[in-house]
Structure 1
Amino acid sequence: MNVVVSLDKYNGAAALEFSSPNTTNIIFPFRNSSSQNLTMEELEIIDQNDRNFKIYIIFAVLSTVANICLLVTTLRKKRKTKLDNFFAGFSLGSTLLGIAYTSDYARMITYQTSDDTILKGYCIVIAIHPTFYAVGDVFISGATLIMAFESVLALQNNQQGSHLKAWLLNKFPLIYYTTVSVVDVSLCWTDILVNNEPIPIACYYELVVSQTYFNIHLAYTGTVGFLGVLIFVAWLLYMPISRSSHQSVRAVQTRRNWEIVRKVIMLIALNFSVQNLPATYRVFSTIFLGSTVIPFAVWLMQPIGFFLTAIIRLIELSKIRTKLQKVLPLKFKKSVTPSRLP
């Protein structure tokens, strides 16, 4: 089903062009959903939008709640590992994105049949999702890159590059998150204000920001995510063999290394699939296919993936494991805390 709605046809109403029944067909605003000017096809699209938006909001709320729980649980741990700090960054980014998804699609449902318009600049004030999308994506992609570096450093001998390790683990995350977030938000707001045109009051994200900014933002966050994955894969291929002369020490070191590998693979695999692939798909289709269409199911992977990441990490925490073992007939392999190993 091909749906193309021009701006002139609906007196300024915005529309996106989609060519698959599996995509979200967005047409808004209409004067009234019961207007005699609407065709059956258009009414079906509105109903489909409503269903898709509600599904997205459900998983966005679940993702937000789960990641808030993970963030609070991680921050309240008395003895934190470096890995906990990076999971805190990931969960904070996922929380911001969950709130942004909820705000974006809740406004879409609320104003889908409204004919009110607003200048883009006001969307910065009345809608939080443009800003939260920018910051949340920075934290998610940055967490992947930082965790890759952390894994490389953690698998090294403690005496190797001690100053670099201390700087990367203690200073680099804060500097990266702060600097890139400020730059991205500044670019986002500048883009909106420079192109300060009337748009539907729903403040749909892809109408608020330009395609140029959106593609640059996705290209950057996707590249950072891919870089983190490549660094980690390269280190796995060249993982150093322990030189300890004691067999028991080598066994403990090996167990420590693979415990770190297991945790980071889980996070990077989920992040790679739920953020990098949709972002890469969007940039590729825009540049080479001349289309900005992304199937609804692809974007839906993001809140679902962030939700699963938080749940898996919460289950891995010792207190959650203990409670589950009392209630369910499950057996969990005891984790090795890297900071306590030689």
Structure 2
Amino acid sequence: MSDIIRTDGRQTTECIANIVLAVFAVATNGALCAMSLHERPRRKFNSLIAAYSAGIVINATGIALLYGIRVETNEASTPVRCLREYWYLHFYTVGEPIVSFATLVIAIDSFVSICFIHPKWHLHHRDIPKCIFAFLTCSLFNTAAIWIDAYIRRDEVIPASCYQSQVLSQWYHRIFYTILSITDFASIGIQLLALTNMWIQKSKFNVVRLAQIRRQTAMLKESVILVACVIMSQGIPNMYYVIETITVLPKWFDKMVWLSTNFGYIGYSAYCILKWFFRREFNLLKTIVTTAKISPTTNSK
């Protein structure tokens, strides 16, 4: 007799919805990553956006595999066995730190550029490979720590559905998601400080500094939208993962976190793609109008 738990139509619909949204997130963020790497001249912001979108692609791929492969069952397993059989769990351990730390670096760089005229510490394009190497190092360290944690608890019996909160020990689960939550909310805090400082100091800036600020304002707006999406996709869910290990939360909160996560995953990439599309269409329309104005003059000659 099978121990697999039968799911009703509603659960099946939710599962399909999660897979579709995850695939859409992979597609949009994959496109954003390609656009960022293809753009010339390549700016440091674009390289960090490419790292961010790659992290989202990894996370969303993990979600798609989670709902496509996982089977709800009453059988038992162990943490090590779960990591071997449900290998998609590694997607989270790699993708989530990349997204959080890439966003933090973008926020810090925006803050330094806005708030200081001649900063001693300023991120240059040559520093980007070092940053990406640091992101990957954190992800690999996290993966190794999870395996060590699972090996220490190798004889512990957990449900064979292998949810991440069950595969990880409670203390590591709390520490990991607390660090990510702090990182994500620190990013939005830094951005708000940059906006506040710019608003307060704007009247004191000279003409040259105002010209610099105008160029940096567009970049700041981009990074604010990015950080807001990261708060929705990771900051709020990560805080939820920590709180749920301490107390029982209402069912509706889980639905709100689900909506927040999916909107955050898709929001920034969809915004960038739409902006690129409409800018391209506007430039095409502008070219057509200009050509139409010039053509009569040319023909008359």
TM-score interval for Structure 1 and Structure 2 normalised by the shorter chain: 0.7 to 0.9
Q: CA deviation at 1:235?
A: 2.2
Distance 1:130 1:165, change over 3 A: same
Q: CA deviation at 1:46?
A: 4.1
Rounded Cα–Cα distance in structure 1 between residues aligned with 2:259 and 2:152: 31
Distance 1:242 1:125, change over 3 A: farther
Identify which of 44, 52, 56 aligns with 2:14: 52
Identify which of 77, 81, 96 aligns with 2:43: 81
Equivalent residue runs for 1:82-161 within 5 Å: 82-108=44-70, 111-112=71-72, 114=73, 117-155=76-114, 159-161=118-120
Matched residue type, 1:87: I
C-alpha contact 2:23 2:61 (8 A) present in aligned 1: yes
Identify which of 309, 315, 326 aligns with 2:274: 315
Identify which of 31, 47, 65 aligns with 2:3: 31
Equivalent residue runs for 1:125-204 within 5 Å: 125-155=84-114, 159-161=118-120, 164-166=122-124, 169-170=127-128, 173-196=131-154, 197-204=156-163
Q: CA deviation at 1:312?
A: 0.9
User: What is the number of equivalent residue pairs in this alignment?
Assistant: 281
C-alpha contact 2:158 2:166 (8 A) present in aligned 1: yes
C-alpha contact 2:61 2:91 (8 A) present in aligned 1: yes
Rounded Cα–Cα distance in structure 2 between residues aligned with 1:69 and 1:167: 22
C-alpha contact 2:232 2:263 (8 A) present in aligned 1: no
Rounded Cα–Cα distance in structure 2 between residues aligned with 1:90 and 1:75: 12
1:277 maps onto 2:236 in alignment: yes
Structure number with higher helix proportion: 2
C-alpha contact 1:282 1:292 (8 A) present in aligned 2: no
Distance 1:128 1:325, change over 3 A: farther
Matched residue type, 1:82: K
Distance 1:30 1:262, change over 3 A: farther
The corresponding residue for 2:262 is 303
Equivalent residue runs for 1:62-73 within 5 Å: 62-73=24-35
The corresponding residue for 2:297 is none
Q: CA deviation at 1:226?
A: 1.1
C-alpha contact 2:51 2:99 (8 A) present in aligned 1: yes
Rounded Cα–Cα distance in structure 1 between residues aligned with 2:190 and 2:59: 25
Q: CA deviation at 1:68?
A: 1.1
Q: CA deviation at 1:167?
A: 9.0
C-alpha contact 1:242 1:250 (8 A) present in aligned 2: no
TM-score normalized by structure 2?
A: 0.80
SS state at 2:245 partner:
helix
Rounded Cα–Cα distance in structure 1 between residues aligned with 2:4 and 2:80: 26
C-alpha contact 1:30 1:115 (8 A) present in aligned 2: no
The corresponding residue for 1:265 is 224
Distance 1:32 1:187, change over 3 A: closer
Rounded Cα–Cα distance in structure 2 between residues aligned with 1:265 and 1:31: 48
Q: Percent identity?
A: 21
C-alpha contact 2:104 2:187 (8 A) present in aligned 1: yes
For residues 245-272 of structure 1, the C-alpha deviation after alignment (integer angstroms, 9 at most, x for no partner) is: 5x4x455323212212211111111111
Question: Tell me, which stretches of 5 or more residues in structure 2 are unaligned?
Answer: 286-301
Q: CA deviation at 1:117?
A: 4.8
The corresponding residue for 2:194 is 235
C-alpha contact 2:58 2:92 (8 A) present in aligned 1: yes
TM-score normalized by structure 1?
A: 0.71
Q: CA deviation at 1:208?
A: 2.2
Question: Tell me, which stretches of 5 or more residues in structure 1 are unaligned?
Answer: 1-28, 34-42, 328-342
C-alpha contact 1:115 1:200 (8 A) present in aligned 2: yes
Distance 1:242 1:60, change over 3 A: same
SS state at 1:286 partner:
coil
C-alpha contact 2:115 2:194 (8 A) present in aligned 1: no
Matched residue type, 1:189: W
Rounded Cα–Cα distance in structure 2 between residues aligned with 1:30 and 1:215: 34
Matched residue type, 1:256: R
C-alpha contact 1:285 1:292 (8 A) present in aligned 2: no
Rounded Cα–Cα distance in structure 1 between residues aligned with 2:162 and 2:3: 17
C-alpha contact 1:70 1:91 (8 A) present in aligned 2: yes
For residues 81-133 of structure 1, the C-alpha deviation after alignment (integer angstroms, 9 at most, x for no partner) is: 1111111111011001101101111123xx23x56554431332332322111
